Amino acid sequence: MSREPRTPARCNARREGTADGGSATSREGAALLATLALAGLAIHAWFALGGDALDSDRALVLLMARSFARGDFSVFLWEQNYMGALEPLLLTPLALAGWATPTAAGLVGLALTAALAVLSVRLARRLGGAPWMALLLWAVAPALVVHHHVALYGARLAATFLAVAAFAWSLGAKRRGAWMGVGVLTGIAFFADHLLLLWAAPVAFVAARRRSLRPLALGALPVVALDMVVSSITPAVHLSGPNDPGHWLWNVLRLFGVALPQLFGLLLSRGPAPAFEAATSLVPGGYLWPALALPGAAALGALAVTLARRRREIFGPAAPDGGTAAQALLLACGVALGLFALVGGGGDTWSVRYLVPLWPALSVLAALAAERWRRAVRPLAAAVVLPAFFTLVADDTWPQAAEGATARAEAALLTGGGVPWLTLRGIERNPDGARAALQATPVAYLVRHGHAEALDALAGAPEAGRRVLEERDVGRFRLVVTDAPVPGVAVPSDHGSRVLQVAAAIAAGLLFLCIFLTVGWLGTR
C-alpha cells in the first residue's frame, strides 16, 4: 500500500486546490467529517441517555458533585485512591441547580469526548495524517470505549482532556511562559489521576527536544509536590498495584490476550456486571462476529505494518516537526502499556479501562498510517472499526437509551426526598457517611439480583435480630428495607497502614519525576 508519488503538480494541487477538483475534494472531505461527527454524537448520545445512577462509578461522580454543592468538599474522592476529583467539580454547578442527574453526567461526558475528538483531528492534520481516520475511531468505537467516554469516570475524561491539550500546546509553545503553562496543565492532569503519566511522558519528550524542559518542570513539579503532600495526609493508598507478585506476569498476559483485543472490539467486554456475577463468554458465537472481526484485525495489522514500514517519513527527520510529535505519541503508547503491566491488572474486572485514555494517541497514529496508503485503497482502512460496530449492535449489556426510563425510575428512589445513600461494596466512598449509615434506622438496601453474597446476608436479617420492613423487586435490583443495618452486607474499606499510604503517595511523585527525567534524557538523544 505504497504512497502516490509526490509530483510538483500534485503538491501544488494539494496546496492551492484546482478549479476542476480541488474545491470539490475539500467539500467532500468536509462532508465526510461532518457525517462522521454526527454519527459519533448519535452513538455516544445513545449510551449517555441510558445512564444508570446505580452503576457505582457513575453514582460516585454524582454523589461527589451533590456533596460539593452542599459544601462537603474533598480534594480526593473522600478517602479512596482515585486521585483528584475533576469530574465532580464539573458537575457541581449542575448540582447547585438541582440538575446533577445521570443524564446530565452523560452529556458532560459526551461534551468532553467531543472536545478530545476535535483535539485528535487537529493533531492528525498537524502531523500529516488523514483527519477522517482519526474521527472515525472516535465516532465508531467499541461499546466498552463508548461507555467509558460517557460514564464520566472510567476514561478519566477531564484529566485526559487537560493532558492532551497540554501535549497539543507543547507542539507550538515557544516562550518560557507558555512552557510553564504546559507544565501546570500536565501537573494538574497527573494530580487528577496518576494514570495520566502516559501523557506527561510525551510532553516531557517534546520539551526536551525543544530544550524547554526547565520551564516545563517549573510549571509541573510544584503541582506534583502538592499532590505528594495532599495524598500523604489523605488516609488512602494513591498508588496501588496487585497484592500478589504473581499478578505481574498475569498483567502482561491479560494486556495482550484480553485488554488490547477488547480495546479494539476484537473481543467482547460485557457491560458493567459486578464481579460477583458469572462471567459470560468473551468470544461470541455465530457467523457475524468472525465476518467482521477478521477484516477488522487485518486492517488493524495493516495499519501497524504501515507505521513500521513507513517509519522514516512518519517518525523520522523528514516527517512534520522532525518526527518529534509522532515519536511522542509512540512513547505515550509505550508508557501506557508499561503502566498497565505495573498496576493495570490486580484483579480489576474491567482492567481495559486503563487503556482508554490512550485513545487520542491511537486515533492519530491510525490517521498517520492511513494517509500513507494509496488513494484507491485508503477507504479499506475503515474496516478497522468493523469489530467495534459489532460490539455496538450485538452487546446489549451496556446501558443504552432504550433503558433510560428504567434507569431514571431506579434513580428516583435515590434522588427523591433528599435521602442520603452510599455505594454498597468495595470502597466506602464517604467514610463519614458510612459510619452514620451503621447507626441509621431504618436502612434501605438496593442490591443487584446477581449479588448472591449480599442477598444471602439480607436473608439472614431475622437471625441477626433485624426486622424486614419491606421487600420487593425494583428493575434489576432487590429493595430490602430493615429497621437497622444488617451485619455482613457492606464490605468496609481497607486502606492499609499509614506507613503504606505515605510511601505510596511519595512513590507516585517519584515515579513522575523518574519518568520526567528519563524521557527528558531520551529527548536529547
How many angstroms separate the CA atoms of 253 and 425, rounded? 28
Domain assignment present for residue 190? The answer is yes
Predicted confidence band of residue 522 (pLDDT cuts 50, 70, 90): confident
Strands 468-474 and 477-482, sheet pairing? antiparallel
If pLDDT is split at 50, 70 and 90, which confidence band does 18 have?
Answer: very low
- Tens-digit pLDDT profile for residues 206-262: 999 999 999 999 999 999 999 888 888 777 665 555 445 556 677 788 888 888 999
pLDDT value of residue 388: 95
pLDDT at 299 (0 to 100): 97
Range of the domain at 442: 420-482
Q: Is residue 263 part of a domain?
A: yes
- What 8-state DSSP symbol labels residue 281? P
Distance (Å, whole) CA 114 – CA 20: 34
Stated pTM of the model: 0.86
Which is it for strands 443-448 and 468-474: parallel, antiparallel or unpaired? unpaired
What is the per-residue pLDDT across 32-81, written as a single tens digit (0 to 9) for each?
A: 999 999 999 999 999 888 866 556 667 777 877 888 888 877 766 555 55
Bigger pLDDT: 444 vs 389: 389
Give the number of other CB atoms < 10 A from CB of residue 449. Answer: 12
Model confidence pLDDT, tens digit, residues 285-315: 778 888 999 999 999 999 999 999 999 999 9
My answer on whether 470 and 376 are in the same domain is: no
Nearest CA-CA partner of 91 in 157, 190, 185: 157
Surface-to-core class of residue 100, CB atoms within 10 Å of its CB (0-12 exposed, 13-18 middle, 19+ buried): buried
Same domain, 366 and 441: no
Q: Is 498 part of a structural domain of the chain?
A: no
Q: How many domains does the chain have?
A: 2
Q: Same domain, yes or no, for 397 and 424?
A: no
Which range, 91-100, 236-245, 328-337, has the best average confidence (pLDDT)? 328-337
Task: Please indicate, yes or no, if residue 492 is contained in any of the structural domains.
Answer: no
Please determine, for residue 277, whether its predicted confidence score (pLDDT) is greater than 80.
no
- Counted residue by residue, the chain has a size of 525
**What is the reported pLDDT for 20?**
44
Same-domain status, 334 and 457: no
Where is average pLDDT lowest: 59-63, 132-136, 314-318, 386-390? 59-63
C-alpha cell at 2: 505504497
Which of 136-145, 235-244, 392-401 has the weakest average pLDDT? Answer: 235-244
Indicate if 516 and 449 belong to the same structural domain: no
Reduced to 3 states (helix: H, G, I; strand: E, B; else coil), residue 374 is coil
CA distance linking residue 415 with residue 421, whole number of Å: 9
User: Is the Cα dihedral 362, 367, 186, 91 positive or negative?
Assistant: negative
Domain presence at residue 87: yes
| Same domain? 265 vs 219 | yes
pLDDT of residue 326: 96
Is 60 part of any domain? yes
By CB neighbour count within 10 A (0-12 exposed, 13-18 middle, 19+ buried), where does 16 fall?
A: exposed
Is the same domain home to 159 and 212?
Answer: yes
Q: What is the CA radius of gyration of the chain?
A: 24
Tell me: do 352 and 476 sit in the same domain.
no
Determine the pLDDT at residue 361: 97
Q: Do 75 and 108 belong together in one domain?
A: yes
Residues 72, 200 share a domain = yes
Task: Report DSSP letters for 280-322, one per residue.
Answer: PPSS--SSHHHHHHHHHHHHHHHHHHHHHHTHHHHHSTTSGGG
Do residues 331 and 474 share a domain?
Answer: no
List, in sequence order, every residue forming a beta bridge with 477; answer none if it has no partner: 448, 474
Give Cα separations from 232 to 159, 185, 494 (angstroms): 21, 22, 16
- pLDDT score recorded for residue 161: 95
Q: What is the DSSP string of 454-506?
A: HHHHHHTTGGGT--EEEEEEETTEEEEEESSPPTTSS-------HHHHHHHHH
Answer whether residue 2 is part of any domain: no
Query: Residue 280: CA atoms inside 13 Å, Cβ hemisphere, count?
Result: 13
Q: Average pLDDT of 98-104?
A: 82
Asked if residue 4 is part of any domain, the answer here is: no
Concatenated DSSP letters for 146-186? HHHHHTTSTT-HHHHHHHHHHHHHHHH--SHHHHHHHHHHH
State mean pLDDT over 144-154.
Answer: 84
pLDDT of residue 243: 47
Q: In what order do the strands lie in the sheet with 468-474?
A: 443-448, 477-482, 468-474
- 280 has a pLDDT exceeding 60: no
Q: Which of 316, 354, 363 is nearest to 335 (CA)?
A: 354
| 135 and 245 fall within a common domain | yes
